[in-house]
Structure 1
Amino acid sequence: MTLWTASARGRWWANLLGNQVVWVCAVAGSGHGWQWPALLAAGLYVASQLLTSPRAGTDLHLMLLALGCAIGVDGLAASSGAVQYAASPWGWFPPPWILALWASFAMTLTTSLSVLQRHWALPVVLGLFLAPLAYLSAERGFSAVHFASPMWHGILLLGSTWTVALLLLRATAMRRASL
């Protein structure tokens, strides 16, 4: 194994696991009404990823786009009444802990989730099924979100909007990789 391969593999694992740590900090903290665990974890994670990224400009661009997607996806879910977010100081606008999650998620798009760029169907599957499962986990395990009744409205709304957001992020990552 070459040094580069070992280094790339370590970065891949740090990228994947770091994002999961941010998710746990965000949903656990928000379930207690706290923003700071998400902001601290995401700040450290995003900074570490940008400092070690061979494509920091692309990662930063994707992060800004992801924050726009957060406003669209989670803002729509909140304003529709289908989903309510814990520790949400701004009404329909996504709370800081959600924005932290999206910023952290963007850091995975060129590393641990770069596979999304190679297979168009993966963002669809991730958006339609896995993204809503993350929200359900946040609701059931941490009381970070609450789905209005009937729950399937919120799940369908999140699944469809996450799919669109992931396809947009995928296309942007692919375009920036070819520059």
Structure 2
Amino acid sequence: MQWLAFNILGFQAVWWACVLGAGAGSPWMGPIAAAAFAAIHLRFTPTRRRDARLLVSAVVMGLLVDSTLGGSGLLSYAANGGQPALAPAWILALWAGFALTLTHSMKALAARPWAAAIFGLLGGPLAYASAGAAAGAVTFNEGIVSGLLAVAVAWAVAVPLLYRIDKKLANVPEEALA
């Protein structure tokens, strides 16, 4: 039970550090918080290699999703280093922290692809809208409805896909991944 509490609270701390840091012009607050969370998590989790692989997969997924959203002009990210078509480090840190919840505090979604898709469909837009409202970390350039619809579709695909990637990687022998 303590592990799940750490997992939930750790990710929430990462989320707030990323969003508030980006909105305040301190975009490295989030990546530092995510690195600390990941280091502690990976030190004590019984599924270290699996979680590390999922973390890398989620960061790649985040790079694709958020670079596409930013490059399309639908969204803009605070503290993006002048690169609107490239997901900023703070949002990739969010994906890294999120990955560490997937097989722990959000484990129930793993065997339910439709539930994972619905979670992404609703949770993704809620997180992005909250980041925009709470700290100005995300701006919806073409209107909030079209921006949130794009986020909803992307996350409805991304969350179940991450579970599928995790399952594939978990079934691959260690030697094949080295």
Fold similarity call, TM over 0.5: yes
Q: Which residue of 2 aligns with 1:141?
A: 134
In the alignment, is residue 95 of structure 1 matched against residue 88 of structure 2?
Answer: yes
Displacement after TM superposition at 1:58 (Å): 0.7
Amino acid at match of 1:150: G
Deviations 1:146-174 (A, max 9, x none): 00132211111111111211111111223
**How high is the TM-score relative to the length of structure 2?**
0.91
Q: Is the 8 A contact 1:117 1:173 kept in 2?
A: no
Task: Return the TM-score normalized by structure 1.
Answer: 0.91
CA distance in 2, matches of 1:177, 1:72: 23
The letter for the 2-side match of 1:88 is: N
Alignment equivalent of 1:62, drawn from 42, 48, 54 = 54
Cross-structure match for 2:16:
24
Give the total of aligned pairs: 171
Report the Cα distance in structure 2 between the residues aligned to 1:76 and 1:175, rounded to whole angstroms: 25
Q: Matched residue of 1:107: which SS?
A: helix
Alignment of 1:1-179 (within 5 A): 9-89=1-81, 90-178=83-171
Q: Which runs of 5+ in 1 are unaligned?
A: 1-8
Q: Which moves more between the two structures, 144-153 or 58-67? A: 144-153
Counterparts of 2:103 and 2:125, CA distance in 1: 22
Q: Percent identity?
A: 35
Letter of the structure 1 residue corresponding to residue 6 of structure 2: A
Given that 2:77 and 2:84 are in contact with CA atoms closer than 8 Å, whether structure 1 keeps it comes out as: no
